[in-house]
Structure formats: structure tokens, C-alpha cells
Structure 1
Amino acid sequence: MPYDPSAFPPFAVTVDLVVLTVRSHALCALVVRRGEPPYQGRWALPGGFVRADEDLAAAAARELKEETGLRPHGPEGKDTGAHLEQLATYGDPYRDPRMRVVSVAHLVLSPDLPPPIAGGDARSARWSPAESLLGPGEGLSRDGDQPVQLAFDHAQILLDGVERARAKIEYSSLATAFCPPEFTVGELRRVYEAVWGVALDPRNFHRKVTGTPGFLVPTGGTTTRQGGRPAQLFRAGGATLLNPPMLRPEV
């Protein structure tokens, strides 16, 4: 039977970004208020349609730059901005009222970022604590006195992205993506505490991260930005897997 394009409904592919950072010791996600239908005025994850001449990675990188001004890490380990990885694909036939839209979500992790500036069809943008966005009812936060629900299926995408980050820092060096190029063990510990939502014992944490070969490399410098005595500065080492893993405490 010959192919008949008219037999198929309109179809599109989008990329959605779960952009996470740590601000004021809390794990925060970037959300934008939609300026156009559908869900006009509702908060949503940043993202957009994949253009005809770009692949998924290029589309995600473009949306990341438009929404945050960041670029993903470059080839051969060259640090050009933020960690970006593909998260999952979402293809419920009714997830978008405009047409059949499949979204390829990406997870973006970066150190503390400045207040976002809305771009594209977004009316405004802000950082919101992930815990509040994933509060009762998952995806319900509060905007003033009114409950707010994320548009489309973005509550589920955000939940999956946060859980990916929580799980991966157990066995990989991904937590260092939330840190500046040089950081203290205390600053790294606060990343784990923010992502996991638990308090960690400082001495045990220090012993584990400094005792894992290739995880942290001393820079030879110190800092007093945390107050108190000078603290030793480290940078991320070459290890990508932690052995033994840094297991998440049971809550």
C-alpha cells in the first residue's frame, strides 16, 4: 500500500528541559510562565519545538542557551557551561492539545545561576524550589494564594528529572556539576543535602569524598567564603563512578 501523508495527523517533536541548580541551599528548578496557548499563563518547564534542520542535542542546547544563556559541556571535557543529558521520552497521544507531540526531555545541572530572563514565548521565568513544585499532588505549587499546576505533563517530567539527579549522585561524580570549578568539601556536602533533602554528618561525608580515589583533587588553595577558618579547595577529579557509592540516607 503506498504511503499517504494525509492519512496521518499532524505530528511534532519537542524538547523539554529540567534545569536544576542549588540556590540558598535548596534544589531549584527553572520554570517559565507561558505567554501563548495552550495553557497560557500557566507555569511550565522551558523547552520548544525541534526545528527541521537540527537534531535533538542541538535543539536542547539551543533552548538551554535561549532560556539560561548557558551552553552544555563541550567535547573532550572542555567546560563551556552546564551538564546536559537526555532524560526520557514522553509520548502520550493527549499530552498536548494542539497535535500529537512527542517530547524528548533533557536534564540540565549547573552551579548557582542568576535570576533567569524569559525568552521565546515565555511571559516570565523564575527559579522555584523543586520540593514546592513537587509538593502535595506532585506539580502543585502556590503562586500567591492560588495553587498552581504545571502545564502539560511537566510535573511528571520534573519528578523524573529530580529523581534521576538524586539517584545519579549516589554512584557518580554528577554532584560536582552543581559546584563552581573550585569548591570546598562543605560546599559539595550542601549540594548532596539540597538534592537529597537530608542533613549529612560533616565528618563522615568528608572522609568518604576525600577517600574515594579520583573523586576530588586538591587545588592547593583555600577560601574563607564560608566564614571561619580557611577551607581547602578541590576540583572534580577524573573519576566518573564512585566505588563504594555514596548511598542516600533512608528518610
Structure 2
Amino acid sequence: MQQIFNFIFKNSNRILFLILLGISLFLTIQSHSFHRSKIISSANFLSGGVYEKVNNLNEYLNLKNENDILALENAKLRSMLFNVKDTATAKTLDSIEGVKLKDIIVAKVIKNSYNVYENYLTLNSGELQGIKTDMGVINSLGIIGIIENTSPKYSTVISILNKRTQINAKIKKSDHFGSLNWNGKSTGFVQLTDLPRLALIKIGDTIVTGGQSVIFPENINIGTIAKIYRDNVTNYYTLDVKLFNDMTNLGHVYIIKSKDREEVNNLEKKN
């Protein structure tokens, strides 16, 4: 206590000066609005900066809690999505020459293999929807395959990426046709074989379904010519055809009813 009194006594002049200075500043600020506004503005600036720093620190410290809340919300949203009925709709298919809309069945691919030599798809529609074996399957981009087996609610499709597939196809700009098959190498390409050497072809030409099939209507898109090979012995071309479809990513498809298939098959059996 004695030390405090000694300090005040030794610095009495300075302390008195500071007190008088503080009083004068207070009186000046109180009596002049300009000075008062400047002081308040400066105080707000300083306090605002302090508050911002404190808020940033609090936000940083609360990051874990915020992340936990977000993770919980994401889990709830995913749960809702997993339990919502599939509302995706098929794209509208353009009219097909010679095929009525009532002769087209819409289905969805629920299983799709593409990494073996004999690939198949499974559809969520079957006999109850009118699907039968040997019906052609397409989508808005081109052909997919052929119905092989059916059950009341489901059906399987032999994919164009299947070494057993044989489909009649032709060059779009001419009537030169060949047999479409798959060599088992790439999911993006099929092969058109037995194409006559007389055919005028070039890279980029479009390949479509031919008119000699009772499964697919004529002129359904398949793909474009990517490479041309010529067999000097048989004088036939073999073409690598780049598919319009990404066969590894399929959604809704269309099954085409063929009313003339049985009639043509019965007629051919008589020959």
C-alpha cells in the first residue's frame, strides 16, 4: 500500500495532467457533434473488426458441429431418395415408318451385361405387357438387341454385344447390305460383314437396319463406319461400325411388335 502512495506522490504531476486532459477531451466531444461522430465511427470500426475476428474464430471452432449437421441432413436426403419410387420417364420416340405407336412397348433395363462374349439385358416388362420372343428392342438412338426369353413380368434381351447376334443391316445411302455381328472386342463397335466390294462406302457413312428382317423395321439407326477392311480372297468388305448407343449406359427401351413375323416365317418354311 505504501508503494502505491509513493508512486502517486512521485507522479502526481503526470497523473493530474492526464486527468485534466481526459476531462478536456470529454468536454470537447460532448460539446461538438463533429468530434463526437468521429469518435463513435472510430469506435464502431474497431469494435466491428474485433467482432468479425471473434465470429470467424467461433465459426472455425464450430466447423465440426456444422459438418455433423450436414452429414445428418445428407443421410436423411439419401434415405428419402432411396425410398422414392422411380419417376424417370422414357424419352418420346419419333414415329417409325410402318410401325404404329400401339405396337411399341416401353420398358426399362434393370440389368445389363457388356463385359463377356455373350451379353444380355433384363427388362422390367414381360408377357403381361405383350412382349414375345424375337421382338426387336431399340431406343431413341438405335438398336439394342432382340427379345430371347419372357416371363409374365420380365424379359431378357440378347444384346447386339453378343457373338451369337446376326442382324441384317445396310448402308443408309444405298441398298448394299450385310450381316451385323460382334467380334467381342469393344463395347463401342460392332462389325458389318459380307458387304459386297461393289458398294460405295467411306468413313462416316451411316449404317441402319436392312429391309430383309422381320424383327426390326427398315432404317433404324445403328452407327457409323469407323474402319474399312477388304478381304482380297472373297472380295467382301468388313466394317467396324461405331454404335450410336452407349451400350454400357441404357435406361428406357422400346420393344417393337411385328405382326408379319409369324406369317413370313410360316411362308418361308414351305420353301
- Return the TM-score normalized by structure 1: 0.22
Name whichever structure is richer in helix by fraction. Answer: 2
